[in-house]
């Protein structure tokens, strides 16, 4: 069976903090694609439907300009700062 490795890709990401300023920063960064939810969460529209980003999650901007949330433990296992 063949095996495959993910190509190295540089992405942009921001960590969602429990602050209104950070939420506004992320919403503006997404060009208003991401919307404010309740209790500090953000609602991110994706091809799979709306996803929720909670405080502590990372918001990733993909290579095609798409946005999606990523839990912190997965983020640190998958990405390193460049």
- pLDDT per residue as tens, the chain (82 positions): 999 988 889 999 999 999 999 999 999 999 999 999 988 899 999 989 999 999 999 999 999 999 999 999 999 999 998 8
**C-alpha separations of 63 from 7, 14, 32, 75, 79 in Å:** 12, 15, 18, 16, 14
């Amino acid at each position: 069976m063949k095996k495959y490795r993910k190509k190295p890709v540089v992405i942009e990401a921001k960590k969602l903090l429990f602050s209104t300023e950070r939420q506004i920063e992320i919403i503006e960064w997404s060009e208003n694609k991401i919307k404010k939810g309740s209790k500090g969460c953000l609602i991110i529209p994706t091809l799979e439907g709306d996803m929720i980003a909670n405080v502590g999650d990372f918001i990733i901007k993909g290579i095609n300009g798409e946005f999606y949330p990523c839990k912190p433990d997965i983020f640190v296992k998958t990405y390193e700062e460049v």
